[in-house]
């Protein structure tokens, strides 16, 4: 089953410690069913110094399961599920179930 959330989508976290926060999907990992959302699920990593970067404690986003995020409806700004619709020209588009609004483009 293909993931319905893609890179660049605006999502809201619906469960977990970051519940209610919103952000943009930075990376999508369909094989693991996970997404990386900007500023969400931050973890601290202790890194050794390298030629490019000084060492220390670095905060970075960690992947979150796709079932724990929901797409934000472009019309209402609330969480929505994703459906698909074939337009008159034969193009398949993603649609917000809450408002019927086309997502993306």
For the chain, percent of residues with pLDDT exceeding 90: 66
| pLDDT value at 70 more than 90 | yes
Please tell me the predicted confidence (pLDDT) of residue 33. 94
Mean pLDDT for 46-75 is 92
The domains located in the chain, with CATH, are: 10-74 (2.30.30.30)
Whose structure tokens read 């959302």? Answer: 37
Pairing relation of β-strands 42-47 and 34-37?
Answer: unpaired
80 vs 77: CA distance, rounded Å: 9
Q: Is the pLDDT of residue 7 over 90?
A: yes
- Give the global pTM: 0.82
CA dist., res. 44 & res. 60, Å (int)? 6
Average pLDDT on 3-12 reads 92
């Amino acid at each position: 089953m293909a993931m319905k959330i893609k890179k660049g989508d605006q999502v809201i976290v619906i469960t977990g410690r970051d519940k209610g926060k919103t952000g943009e999907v930075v990376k999508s990992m369909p094989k693991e069913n996970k997404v990386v959302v900007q500023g969400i699920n931050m973890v601290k990593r202790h890194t050794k110094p390298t030629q490019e970067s000084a060492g220390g404690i670095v905060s970075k986003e960690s992947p979150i399961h796709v079932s724990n995020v929901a797409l934000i409806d472009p019309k209402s700004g609330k969480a929505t599920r994703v459906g698909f619709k074939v337009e008159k020209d034969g193009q398949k588009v993603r649609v917000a179930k809450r408002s019927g609004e086309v997502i993306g483009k």
